[in-house]
Amino acid sequence: STFTPRSEHKIAWVLYLQGNLDASVAAVNAFLQTRPDAPETADAAFLLGLLRTAQGDYEGAQAQFQRVADQYP
């Protein structure tokens, strides 16, 4: 179903917005591994950068945002 990837993506965002960063990271990583061709992949990769920033991993965030810029221009 086309709703499954969208739902998985939204769950990761909800977890992030609730402040449940570790669960959101896990959800994003699972999404990126299982849904590499989904339309939401670029946004999920961007969310991973936001999560790294929220966790204080600024170097990891910068690297993640650079990957997003390189892979999804």
Left, alpha or beta for 38 (phi > 0: left; psi -120 to 50: alpha)? beta
Tell me the pLDDT tens digit for each residue of 10-66.
Answer: 999 999 999 999 999 999 999 999 999 999 999 999 999 999 999 999 999 999 999
- pTM assigned to the model: 0.92
Contact between 28 and 51 under an 8 Å Cβ cutoff? The reply is yes
CA dist 10 and 38 (Å) reads 13
Q: Identify the pLDDT of residue 28.
A: 97
Tokens linked to 68: 């997003």
Round to whole Å and give the CA distance between 60 and 69.
Answer: 14
